[in-house]
Structure 1
């Protein structure tokens, strides 16, 4: 089954202790936001993840589908 990669941006830092609760995502902290990048099999899986963020008290800013990250490109970086 094909998975889609999503970047999910939340306000502020995500406490490191919450990362295990979020599953298989990569976390990049920016100045005022945190970018979580993960692969989801379908919309139901994505919505379940977003519900977990809400339950953890994290404020959602943006959700967008992105191309799968290349080995030499970090999640959260804009392609030139």
Structure 2
């Protein structure tokens, strides 16, 4: 299964209680925004997560995929 890492920026801080409801994501507060980082299996999983943010009343600013070492699959060795 291939996972893609996304950074999701939202307005303001996220309380520990709300963060616990979001599942397996990390959060970093930067200035007036919170950056959530999570790995999703496909676009449907990402959209489901974004709908949860909306249902919790969080204001979305930006979503982008980012390179992560965990996203890379096994490397093939080249033959000489």
The aligned counterpart of 1:55 is: 55
> RMSD of the TM alignment (CA)?
1.2
The alpha-carbon deviation at position 31 of structure 1 amounts to 1.1
> What secondary structure does 1:35 align onto?
strand
Counterpart Cα distance in 1 of 2:68 and 2:3: 9
State the TM-score, normalized to the length of structure 2: 0.84
CA separation of 1:7 and 1:69: change in aligned 2, threshold 3 A: farther
Query: Mind listing any 5+ residue stretches in structure 1 that lack a counterpart?
Result: 71-80
State the TM-score, normalized to the length of structure 1: 0.84
The aligned counterpart of 1:6 is: 6
> What secondary structure does 1:58 align onto?
coil
CA separation of 1:18 and 1:51: change in aligned 2, threshold 3 A: same
